[in-house]
Amino acid sequence: MDPKELLISHLKETIRLTSDEENIVCNSYVETRLKKKEVLLFAGDVSNHMRFIAKGSLRAYHMDEEAKEHIVQFGIEGWWVNDLYSYLTQTPAKQFVQALEETTVLQIHRDTLNELYDKVPTIERFYRTKFEKAYVALQDRTINSMSKPAEQRYLEFRLKYRSIEQRVPQYMVASYLGITPEFLSALRKKLK
């Protein structure tokens, strides 16, 4: 399916669009193709785009002072990935966004999105819903990482994100869960 058709289909799961509105929306997004390991957003740059994954997968990660990676988010087809804090506050990103495989992303610049809100008002409702869900997911993840043991976090990750676990290296899953790859390997053996 064409990337913009995928976007329209995704939007229509939440909002209604007329055919004229669909055309306006399609003309507002720019297609970007990434090679495996290509960085879409660098820490330190301000995130000025909302990003829809039409094909492939991305990861958002933070690099600490010791150059250790901490994966904040994975994204696959039909998902949105961004440093949302940077986007909303217009401050330098603290995360990198990188392709894990060949990836096609549809991006819309914040200025274009603000214009789109006026042209297609239901788009504003769509993004409000997305932001609400992102906040809920972040709070859920934060509370889980503080209160649940690693084994339970891993089991929940497998249930919720089975397709991601099969597409990304084990060390990245470990980073996302906040555990070492060795611990994850031992945990997986124990659970078999």
Residue 123: give its domain's CATH number. Answer: 2.60.120.10
Q: State how far the alpha carbon of 1 is from the alpha carbons of 77, 99, 126, in Å.
A: 12, 20, 22
pTM here?
0.90
- 147 vs 55: which has the higher pLDDT: 55
Residue 1 clears pLDDT 90, i.e. is over it: no
Where does a domain end: 130, 146, 162?
Answer: 146
Q: Tell me: do 23 and 114 sit in the same domain.
A: yes
Read off the pLDDT of each residue in 184-189 and give the average, rounded to a whole number. 92
Burial 24-46 (b: 16+ CB within 10 A, else e): ebeebbeebebeeeeebbebeee
Residue 74 clears pLDDT 90, i.e. is over it: yes
Q: Tell me: do 50 and 80 sit in the same domain.
A: yes
Where does a domain end: 129, 146, 163?
Answer: 146
Q: Is 60 helix (H, G, I), strand (E, B) or coil?
A: strand
Read off the pLDDT of each residue in 134-163 and give the average, rounded to a whole number. 89
Q: Tell me: do 108 and 36 sit in the same domain.
A: yes
Per-residue pLDDT at 38: 98
Q: Tell me: do 14 and 64 sit in the same domain.
A: yes
Q: Tell me: do 119 and 181 sit in the same domain.
A: no
Question: Chain-wide mean pLDDT for the chain?
Answer: 94
Read off the pLDDT of each residue in 9-26 and give the average, rounded to a whole number. 97
Read off the pLDDT of each residue in 54-71 and give the average, rounded to a whole number. 94
Q: Tell me: do 132 and 163 sit in the same domain.
A: no
Provide the residue range defining the domain that includes 168. Answer: 148-192
CA distance 150 to 127: 32
What percent of the chain lies above the pLDDT cut of 90?
85
Q: With cut-offs at 50, 70 and 90, classify the pLDDT of residue 146.
A: confident
Q: Tell me: do 19 and 80 sit in the same domain.
A: yes
Q: Tell me: do 8 and 93 sit in the same domain.
A: yes
Least confident of 25-39, 46-60, 80-94, 136-150: 136-150
Read off the pLDDT of each residue in 71-87 and give the average, rounded to a whole number. 95
Number of separate domains in the chain: 2
Q: Are 78 and 105 in contact (CB under 8 A)?
A: no
Q: Tell me: do 119 and 182 sit in the same domain.
A: no
What percent of the chain lies above the pLDDT cut of 70?
100
Q: Tell me: do 24 and 101 sit in the same domain.
A: yes
Cα–Cα nearest to 113, from 24, 19, 2, 39: 24
